[in-house]
């Protein structure tokens, strides 16, 4: 049989870590600290079930039809209103509904990148963003915000866009301080570079009030927001991931370009799922369930960090994150290769994420990402004990 | 303010026809023959509403969670079983669930195309496929199946893939005959070129039994299908578009590559929507509602074609399609520019699709696509009368 055409080149560059994660899900008794999964008990199942039936029977034309590419106008209006302030004036023309937060990243790559162009990305970076942009074959300039010499303007200059997760970055859990948010916005304004603010964890503050978004900090009081920030959000953490509803807030011309890209990507987001979200917003459901989510996740963060302090502090250093879903721990000993540790961990019944997958250049093998939202405190403690045993075994092998 | 980076180059190549269509939707009293919309009365609203509530309350872990990128195993199994025959042996490894049929086309572009590579596409071609592949910047070789000199092997040679809609192609409504299906499969086998069989209208046969899919014709009896055909389907026409559930059937290595692309596109398709489809399949809902859909659409096709025969036969030639959603009519007078006719039509209160948007090279201005599924017979007849008046006005202007 003749040889079939090759697949597109970017497919050669995928690593097998995600497959290893997925396979890990099949190991009985494994403690999974690797993913970024929520606690299913936080989902308001009964209410969502009622809203789904109502959306179908009362609004079949919205739930079941071909609906607008850019989203149901009622949902776009609600999101615009939710983010509007005196200085930040948003209309539905500033809002695109996406099929989950991931689609926003895919569409941004399609719209902002030709092959070989430069992305300035907070480093370490969200694996999903790197995945989303692979088909566009960008170059990367890592932005290390915590580096004392970091210069936002030099960091952004010449890029197609900058990418940041200011609230509890995946993977580092880092909160970008207010002053640096302002500096990034100023740099975007000075250089003209688009500033993508990815905010899936913006509601998950466990220790204090939320800092302002860069979107708000970039508002000029214009009648319709036309600034440099492209903000992406999702209902996956506020309601449930299975709805696959997210959104982008940006200047209208960006929304228009993204809408053109969405037309050729999946045409439109399920009206059923969008309408369930509208019903939930109108009844204040996200606000109502948020305190319970915060209590659950705060207790789990504390349990994880306490276990790590007890079992891992000889081998790793970390900061307790003020929110989000992850602890980022850096090995004290440079000889500890965390790609290898992931595999040793699997043999010890625990799965973590190694830092290499969050490095656009694939080089960093010094750190691990540990999730605390999926498992109850006692399981987290057991996972940390297994991880400590794996670390000792790994170091013994390396010595 | 400094100049912002340009958008990706492919965005410069979009035409404004889609925007004209969308704006047309706002004109009161307009008869819309342009889109490819279904009749909402065909949707089984009560049953889907019940299934939605049940999916949420009984299967929250499937409906609301992060679920597998490639789809719920139960749905993949059902689709594999539905298409399997003695010679065509499919397992879930041959099936990917997509977010509507459009996403399959986007993923195929991501996986099969590097910029500048060749697509051999049935011509005229589905506008949505051209939209989906624009970010991959392919070249096109038009395949005119009805051309007596058409040579499948020469048509496919050197392409990354060939694209065909054998059942009632959008826009031409053409049914590819069995012999030509066999010839295309043989050409795919001889050249090694992938053969994409896009089949959104495969259930909409109004006048007789369905012809075999090219997927089935390419089966070799292998234990797991590993042939050259990549088949795409959708529940948008069988159940309702708002569910956004489609699928791909192909060799396992194609499914794997598409799954990698889907991971970075929207992570996974809503489990809620997938589970509604599972419930519908288990209760035989698509088969139960199909006769009613066929009766409605057959009557509308006949009404449209009767009105066209009465009012338009001096100006256009067409064949009555044996299925699908469209009549393709070619102007008898080459001076009739159908881009201009679309605009003249709007002034006369009717909207049709001009052939230029279905030509990858944007050149064909000789034909129109007329939809018959959205409107009842009397509205179709009124639309045709308006279109005839617009045609006369347009020809008078051209003379």
What CATH number corresponds to the domain at position A337?
3.90.1150.10
CB contact under 8 A, B260 and A133: no
CA gap A285, B150 in Å, rounded: 60
Question: Distance from B310 to chain A by nearest Cα, in Å?
Answer: 32
CB contact under 8 A, B60 and A40: yes
Measure Cα distances from A204 to A146, A290, A300 in Å.
Answer: 21, 8, 13
Contact yes or no for B215/B195 (Cβ under 8 A): no
The alpha carbon torsion through A366, A371, A377, A382 (nearest 10 deg) reads: -50
The alpha carbon torsion through A124, A130, A134, A140 (nearest 10 deg) reads: -30
CB contact under 8 A, A57 and B46: yes
CB contact under 8 A, A99 and B63: no
Check whether residue A278 and residue A350 sit in a common domain: no
Q: What is the pLDDT of residue A250?
A: 98
Helix (H, G, I), strand (E, B) or coil at B16: coil
Does residue A171 lie in a domain region?
Answer: yes
> B150 touching A, CB under 8 A?
no
Q: Which residues of B touch A102 (CB under 8 A)?
A: 264-267
Instruction: Give all strands (DSSP E) within B12-117, no chain letters.
Output: 31-32, 95-98
- Read off the pLDDT of residues B306-360 as tens digits, 9 standing for 90 and up: 999 999 999 999 999 999 999 999 999 999 999 999 999 999 999 999 999 999 8
Q: What is the pLDDT of residue A362?
A: 86
Task: Residue A274: name the closest of A92, A71, A29, A53 by CA.
Answer: A71
Measure Cα distances from B306 to B302, B309, B345, B384 in Å.
Answer: 6, 5, 20, 10
Confidence band of A16 (pLDDT split at 50, 70, 90): low
Q: Which residues of B touch A160 (CB under 8 A)?
A: 5
User: Is pLDDT above 80 for A23?
Assistant: no
CA gap A279, A284 in Å, rounded: 9
Find the helix packing angle between A338-347 and A17-24, rounded to 10°.
Answer: 20
Check whether residue B39 and residue B185 sit in a common domain: no
Domain boundary among B286, B310, B332: B286
Measure Cα distances from A392 to A333, A339, B14 in Å.
Answer: 12, 15, 58
Confidence band of B19 (pLDDT split at 50, 70, 90): low
> Hey, which residues 164-203 in chain A have their CB within 8 Å of chain B?
189-194
**Owning domain of residue A342:** 9-44+287-398
- Read off the pLDDT of residues A324-356 as tens digits, 9 standing for 90 and up: 999 999 999 999 999 999 999 999 999 999 999
Task: Residue B173: name the closest of B297, B21, B14 by CA.
Answer: B297
Check whether residue B21 and residue B93 sit in a common domain: no
A272: nearest CA in chain B?
Answer: B242
Check whether residue B321 and residue B267 sit in a common domain: no
Q: What is the pTM (predicted TM-score) of this model? A: 0.96
CA gap B280, A29 in Å, rounded: 35
Question: Distance from A325 to chain B by nearest Cα, in Å?
Answer: 15
Confidence band of A290 (pLDDT split at 50, 70, 90): very high
User: Sign of the C-alpha dihedral, residues A3, A9, A13, A15?
Assistant: negative
- Read off the pLDDT of residues B347-393 as tens digits, 9 standing for 90 and up: 999 999 999 999 988 899 999 999 999 999 999 999 999 999 999 99
Does residue B36 lie in a domain region?
Answer: yes
Q: What is the pLDDT of residue B26?
A: 73
What CATH number corresponds to the domain at position B166?
3.40.640.10
Measure Cα distances from B170 to A365, B226, B320 in Å.
Answer: 51, 28, 14
CA gap B183, B199 in Å, rounded: 18
CB contact under 8 A, B4 and A228: yes
- Read off the pLDDT of residues B51-77 as tens digits, 9 standing for 90 and up: 999 999 899 988 999 999 999 999 999
Question: Distance from A185 to chain B by nearest Cα, in Å?
Answer: 13
Average of per-residue pLDDT values in chain B = 94
CB contact under 8 A, A102 and B53: no
Q: Which residues of A touch B271 (CB under 8 A)?
A: 242
CA gap A299, A294 in Å, rounded: 8
Check whether residue B232 and residue B98 sit in a common domain: yes
In a 13 Å sphere around the CA of A242, the CA atoms on its Cβ side amount to 27
Nearest to A132 among B18, B61, B264 (CB): B264
CA gap B104, B132 in Å, rounded: 9
Mean pLDDT for the stretch of residues A153-169: 98
> B158 touching A, CB under 8 A?
no
CA gap A103, A112 in Å, rounded: 14
Mean pLDDT for the stretch of residues A260-279: 96
Check whether residue B92 and residue B215 sit in a common domain: yes
Does residue A3 lie in a domain region?
Answer: no
Contact yes or no for B192/A1 (Cβ under 8 A): yes
Size of interface A-B (CB pairs under 8 A): 228
Mean pLDDT for the stretch of residues A308-316: 98
For residue B332, give every residue at least 6 positions away whose Cβ sits within 8 Å of its Cβ, in sequence order, or none. Answer: B314, B315, B316, B317
Check whether residue A83 and residue A161 sit in a common domain: yes
> What pairs with residue B326 in β-bridges?
B371
> Hey, which residues 265-304 in chain A have their CB within 8 Å of chain B?
265-273
- Read off the pLDDT of residues B242-297 as tens digits, 9 standing for 90 and up: 999 999 999 999 999 999 999 999 999 999 999 999 999 999 999 999 999 999 99
> What pairs with residue A195 in β-bridges?
A162, A229
Q: Which residues of A touch B186 (CB under 8 A)?
A: none
H helix intervals, A312-375 = 338-347
For residue A210, give every residue at least 6 positions away whose Cβ sits within 8 Å of its Cβ, in sequence order, or none. Answer: A167, A202, A203
> A150 touching B, CB under 8 A?
no
CB contact under 8 A, A57 and B37: no
Q: What is the pLDDT of residue A4?
A: 86
B12: nearest CA in chain A?
Answer: A257
Average of per-residue pLDDT values in chain A = 95
Number of C-beta neighbours around residue B134 at 10 A = 21
Instruction: Give all strands (DSSP E) within B137-254, no chain letters.
Output: 139-143, 161-164, 194-198, 229-234, 246-249
CA gap A247, B138 in Å, rounded: 29
> Hey, which residues 3-62 in chain A have their CB within 8 Å of chain B?
3-5, 7-9, 11, 14, 18, 22, 35, 37, 40, 43, 45-46, 48-50, 52-53, 55-57, 60-62
Check whether residue A28 and residue A54 sit in a common domain: no
Mean pLDDT for the stretch of residues A67-75: 95
- Above pLDDT 70, what percent of chain A? 97
CA gap B338, B345 in Å, rounded: 10
> B97 touching A, CB under 8 A?
no
Best of B264, B269, B277, B285 to substitute, by most chain A Cβ atoms within 10 angstroms, is B264
User: Is pLDDT above 90 for B145?
Assistant: yes
Confidence band of A19 (pLDDT split at 50, 70, 90): low
- Read off the pLDDT of residues B216-227 as tens digits, 9 standing for 90 and up: 999 988 999 999
Check whether residue A170 and residue A221 sit in a common domain: yes
CB contact under 8 A, B270 and A60: no
Task: Residue A71: name the closest of A329, A327, A267, A345 by CA.
Answer: A267
**Residue B287 burial class via C-beta count within 10 angstroms: exposed 0-12, middle 13-18, buried 19 and up:** exposed
User: Is pLDDT above 90 for B28?
Assistant: no
A244: nearest CA in chain B?
Answer: B270
Contact yes or no for A35/A21 (Cβ under 8 A): yes
Check whether residue A68 and residue A183 sit in a common domain: yes
In a 13 Å sphere around the CA of B367, the CA atoms on its Cβ side amount to 24
Does residue B30 lie in a domain region?
Answer: yes
Residues in chain B: 399
Domain boundary among B260, B286, B312: B286
Check whether residue B253 and residue B357 sit in a common domain: no
Check whether residue B204 and residue B343 sit in a common domain: no
Confidence band of A14 (pLDDT split at 50, 70, 90): low
Cis peptide before B74 (omega within 30 of 0): no
Contact yes or no for B63/B55 (Cβ under 8 A): yes
CA gap A92, A81 in Å, rounded: 9
According to DSSP, residue B37 is labeled P
Best of B6, B7, B258 to substitute, by most chain A Cβ atoms within 10 angstroms, is B7
Q: Residue for token digits 């199946």?
A: B145
Q: Residue for token digits 């969200």?
A: A126
CB contact under 8 A, B128 and A100: no
In a 13 Å sphere around the CA of B41, the CA atoms on its Cβ side amount to 10
For residue B331, give every residue at least 6 positions away whose Cβ sits within 8 Å of its Cβ, in sequence order, or none. Answer: B315, B316, B338, B366, B367, B368
Does residue A323 lie in a domain region?
Answer: yes
Does residue A4 lie in a domain region?
Answer: no
According to DSSP, residue A148 is labeled T
Tokens of A93: 């023309």
- Read off the pLDDT of residues A176-208 as tens digits, 9 standing for 90 and up: 999 999 999 999 999 999 999 999 999 999 999
CB contact under 8 A, A266 and B106: yes
B238: nearest CA in chain A?
Answer: A64
User: Is pLDDT above 80 for A399?
Assistant: no
User: Is pLDDT above 80 for A361?
Assistant: yes
Does residue B2 lie in a domain region?
Answer: no
Does residue B3 lie in a domain region?
Answer: no
Q: What is the pLDDT of residue A3?
A: 83
Number of C-beta neighbours around residue A4 at 10 A = 18
Q: Which residues of A touch B11 (CB under 8 A)?
A: 111, 257, 260-261
Tokens of B315: 């100006």
The structural domain count of chain A equals 2
For chain A, count helices (H), then strands (E): 14, 13
Tokens of B152: 């499948």
CB contact under 8 A, B7 and A112: yes
Domain boundary among B266, B286, B306: B286
User: Is pLDDT above 80 for A42?
Assistant: yes
């Amino acid at each position: 049989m003749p040889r079939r055409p090759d697949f597109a080149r970017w497919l050669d560059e995928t690593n097998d870590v995600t497959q290893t994660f997925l396979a890990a899900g099949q190991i009985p008794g494994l403690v999974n600290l690797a993913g970024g999964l929520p606690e299913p008990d936080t989902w308001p199942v009964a209410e969502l079930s009622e809203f789904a039936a109502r959306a179908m029977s009362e609004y079949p034309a919205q739930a079941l039809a071909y609906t607008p590419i850019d989203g149901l106008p009622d949902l776009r209006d609600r999101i615009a209103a939710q983010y509007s302030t005196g200085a930040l004036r948003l209309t539905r023309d500033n809002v695109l509904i996406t099929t989950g937060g991931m689609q926003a990243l895919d569409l941004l790559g399609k719209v902002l990148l030709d092959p070989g162009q430069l992305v300035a990305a907070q480093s370490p970076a969200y694996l999903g963003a790197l995945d989303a942009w692979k088909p566009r074959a960008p170059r990367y300039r890592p932005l290390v915000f915590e580096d004392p010499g970091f210069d936002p303007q030099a960091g952004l200059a010449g890029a197609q866009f900058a990418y940041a997760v200011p609230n509890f970055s995946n993977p580092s859990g880092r909160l970008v301080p207010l002053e640096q948010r302002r500096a990034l916005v100023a740099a975007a304004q000075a250089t003209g570079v688009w500033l993508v603010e990815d905010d899936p964890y913006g509601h998950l503050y466990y220790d204090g009030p939320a800092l302002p978004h860069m979107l708000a900090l970039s508002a000029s009081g214009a009648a319709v927001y036309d600034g440099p920030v492209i903000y992406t959000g999702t209902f996956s953490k506020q309601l449930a991931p299975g709805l696959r509803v997210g959104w982008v807030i940006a200047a209208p011309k960006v929304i228009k370009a993204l809408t053109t890209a969405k037309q050729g990507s999946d045409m439109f987001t399920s009206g059923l799922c969008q309408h369930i979200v509208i019903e939930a917003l109108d009844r204040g459901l996200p606000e109502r369930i948020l305190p319970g989510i915060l209590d659950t996740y705060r207790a789990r963060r504390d349990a994880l960090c306490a276990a790590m302090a007890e079992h891992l502090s000889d081998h790793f250093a970390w900061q307790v994150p003020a929110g989000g879903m992850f602890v980022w721990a850096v090995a004290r000993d440079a000889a500890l290769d965390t790609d290898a540790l992931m595999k040793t961990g699997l043999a010890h019944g625990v799965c973590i994420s190694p830092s290499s997958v969050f490095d656009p250049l694939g080089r960093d093998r010094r750190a691990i990402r540990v999730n605390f939202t999926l498992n109850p405190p006692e399981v987290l403690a057991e996972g940390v004990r297994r991880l400590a045993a794996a670390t000792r075994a790994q170091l013994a092998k390396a010595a």
